[in-house]
Structure 1
Amino acid sequence: MCHTMFQMLNQIYRIFFRGSQEISDTEKLAAVEMDDKVANMEQQIVELQNQNRELRKQLEYNRNKEAALQKVLCNYDNLLKKVVIERNAKKEEVASTSDLASLESAFCELLQKYEKAKIVVQSFQQNETVLRKQVEEYEDILDKLRAKFATYKTLSENKLEVKNEMGVRKVRSVEGKKRRLLTTI
C-alpha cells in the first residue's frame, strides 16, 4: 500500500515538473534514490516479517514437540515404577535387569533428544528477539524516511506554487505590454 502511494506521488511529481527546466538532476536523482530506498526498506520489512512468521511456526512446532516429550517422560516415569514393582514381585532379576537397562538407554536417548530440542527452542526464542529488534529498527528507519519524503513533498509543492505565481505574473506582464502597445498604436 505504501509502495503504491509512493509511486503515485512520484508520478504526480513527474507530471508537474515534466516541462520544468528548473529541477536539477540532483533533485531528480535524490527523488529516485529515495524511492529506491523506501522500496528496499519495505521489501526488507516484508522479508523480516516472513522470517518472523517462519520462526514462530518453528517455535510452536518445537513447543508442541517439547510438550509431547514431557508427556512421554511422565509416561516413562510411570512405566519405570511399574517395572520396578513387577521385578520385586516376580523376582525375575535377570529379565527385569535387561528390561530396565533397555528402558534406561531409551530414557537416556530420549533425555538427550529433549535437551537438544530445548536448546533449539531457546535459539529460536533468541532469534525471535533479534528479529523483533531488527523489525523495530527498520520501522524507525522507515518512519524517518517517510518524514523526509513529507518534507521533500512540501518543498516541491512550495516551489510549484512559486513557479505558478511567476507564470501568472509573466502572463499578466505580457498582456499589459500588449495593451500598452495596442493603445499606443
Structure 2
Amino acid sequence: MRKFLLLAVLLPMLAVAGFAQESRQDISVSGAGFIPPYAYGNGVLLHATVGYGGLLSYRYMLTPRSALELNYQYVQNVNHFLIPTNNILVHTRMQEISGAYVYNFIFKNFNPFLEAGVGGYIFTPIDDSKTNFQNSLSQNTNIGLLYGGGIAYEISPSFDIRAEYRGIVVKTPSFSFPNNDTRTNRYYNIYNPVIGVAYHF
C-alpha cells in the first residue's frame, strides 16, 4: 500500500518535471512592413506611405499548441491628409503594445500558427521636415484588434525562422488637428507583414 501511495505521489511530480524541461517560452525579433490602406470620411481622404520598423514578441506556451503572446512594434511612415482647404503631411511614429492568443499546428519542423488579440496603438507626430504642420499636432492612442497567421520553421531546438501576415484594425489617427479637420472617424485594416528569428528557452 505504501509503495502504491508513493508511486501515486511521484508520477505527477515526474510529469511536471518533464514538462518543465521543455521549451515553454520564446522571444523573437522581426523586421516589419506597415501598409495602411486609403481611408475616407468626413470629407477627409487619408493615405499613407509604406512604413518599416521592427517587432519584438514574447510567447509563453500554455500547452504544446496554445500560447500567450506580448508584442511591441515600432515603425515610421508619413500620413497624408487631403482636406478641402489644405494638404497635411505628418511624419508619424507608430508604436504597438499588444497581447494575443496563439494557436500552433505542428508538422515536424514546420509549425503554422494563428493568432488574435487586442492592443494599444500610439501615433506620434514627428516635428521634422516631413511634417508641414509642426508644433500644432498631438499624439493619438487608439485601441485596435490584432489578427494574423504565419509559419515558423525550426532550424534547431533553440531557433526558428518565423514569417507572418498580421492585420491591425484600428481607428485612423487625426493628431488632434485644429477644428478636427483631419478626423475621418473611420477604422482601417493595416497590413503588417513580418519576418524574423525566434529563440526558445
Q: TM-score range by the shorter chain?
A: under 0.3
Could you say which structure has the larger radius of gyration? 1
Q: TM-score, structure 1 length as denominator?
A: 0.20
1 or 2, which has the higher helix percentage? 1
1 or 2, which has the higher strand percentage? 2
Q: TM-score, structure 2 length as denominator?
A: 0.19
